[in-house]
């Protein structure tokens, strides 16, 4: 069942809201993102209550990697005084494009410049969102996203990828199902031992909003699913993102000081309170290189938000987390 079954699509200011039988999806096309999903009266995403018009809006955003090229002005120790978010990346210059009644789309053309080298990339980036009604008992909201990027020019040899980020309220657990025993690497200071564990083939990470860390998981290990579960009252709000990893292709997003290594596909960030105390569910696409190989990339993902009783979550947890993590 598709968005033809939506009850209403309403526009107010810069926002577009799809009201579904089970909840609603609020889009902010001028920032190229899903701002919020609400289900059963509860909000799924973190949205900055003190937003001042800068980059840190919240919701489901799209940036461009590799982070070490576009954001970091250092190759030394982590120092956020040397971290820069180009205005071309966020807020960007998103413009709405025709997409039909069932979806909403936006596009921008930007130029990004390497922070430490004389290199750049000219990119055309698009996003299209389509709500999906799944039926059932009104406890599920789903939307499909198509992200695209075309290399329009730039410095020969410069890499770029698409970097999808969901900002989430703290207080839950992030689950990364893996094809074999999980492994990860740290991007900042090592994640405290008390905040992670391995459950079979699933890496489990506490999102506290108080202890800053970031970890990455390689493309050959992820199953293409990330799940975040957070207790709200007597129920669990569960967010599942499904995407398509391609481990036979190159990934380019790496920690500082690891530029010669293969990049990661999945990343999780836990804010320490510096930027609002949230968590981030992140994944990257394979990279493209200016002047070499394909210059066009399309990436699709599906985001499913469920509101479940504690018993229902315990019953669904094994099938959601383990059913696709038993491949060798």
Residues 220-258: pLDDT tens digits?
999 999 999 999 999 999 999 999 999 999 999 999 988
Q: Where are the domains of the chain?
A: 3-322
Q: pLDDT tens-digit profile of 90-106?
A: 999 999 998 877 899 99
The string of DSSP letters for 174-207 reads EEEEBSSS---EESSSPPPGGGEEEETTEEEEEE
Beta bridge partners of 113: 120
Would you state the pLDDT for residue 99? 84
Q: Which CATH architecture has domain 3-322?
A: Distorted Sandwich (2.70)
Residue 8 CB neighbour total at 10 angstroms: 9
Would you state the pLDDT for residue 261? 93
- Average pLDDT over the chain reads 92
Residue 277 CB neighbour total at 10 angstroms: 17
The string of DSSP letters for 260-283 reads TSPPEEEEEEE--SSSSSEEEEEE
Statement: residue 316 has pLDDT above 90: no
Statement: residue 194 has pLDDT above 60: yes
Statement: residue 62 has pLDDT above 80: yes
Four-residue CA torsion sign, 241, 238, 281, 268: negative
pTM (2 d.p.): 0.93
Inter-residue contact 266 to 176 (CB < 8 Å): yes
């Amino acid at each position: 069942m598709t968005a033809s079954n939506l009850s209403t699509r309403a526009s107010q200011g810069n926002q577009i809201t799809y009201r579904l039988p089970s909840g609603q999806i609020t889009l902010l096309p001028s920032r190229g993102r899903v701002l919020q999903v609400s289900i059963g009266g509860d909000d799924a995403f973190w949205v900055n209550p003190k937003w001042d018009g800068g980059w840190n809006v919240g919701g489901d955003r799209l940036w461009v990697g590799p982070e070490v090229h576009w954001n970091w002005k250092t190759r030394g120790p982590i120092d956020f005084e040397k971290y820069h978010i180009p205005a071309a990346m966020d807020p960007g210059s998103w413009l709405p494009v025709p997409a039909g009644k069932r979806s909403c789309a936006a596009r921008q053309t930007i130029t990004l410049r390497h922070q430490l080298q004389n290199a750049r990339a000219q990119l055309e980036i698009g996003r299209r969102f389509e709500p999906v009604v799944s039926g059932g008992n009104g406890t599920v909201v789903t939307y499909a996203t198509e992200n695209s990027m075309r290399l329009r020019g730039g410095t020969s040899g410069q890499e770029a990828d698409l970097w999808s980020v969901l900002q989430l309220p703290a207080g839950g657990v992030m689950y990364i199902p893996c094809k074999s025993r999980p492994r990860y690497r740290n991007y900042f200071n090592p994640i405290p031992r008390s905040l992670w564990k391995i459950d079979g083939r699933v890496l489990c990470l506490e999102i506290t909003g108080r202890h800053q860390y970031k970890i990455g998981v390689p493309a050959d290990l992820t199953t293409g699913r990330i799940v975040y579960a957070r207790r709200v009252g007597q129920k669990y709000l569960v967010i599942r993102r499904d995407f398509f990893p391609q481990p036979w292709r190159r990934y380019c997003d790496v920690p500082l000081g690891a530029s010669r290594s293969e990049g990661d596909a999945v990343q999780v960030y836990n804010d320490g309170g510096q930027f609002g105390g949230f968590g981030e569910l992140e994944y990257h696409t394979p990279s493209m290189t200016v002047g070499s190989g394909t210059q066009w990339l399309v990436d699709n993902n599906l985001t499913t938000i469920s509101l479940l009783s504690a018993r229902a979550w315990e019953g669904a947890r094994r099938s959601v987390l383990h059913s696709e993590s038993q491949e060798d």
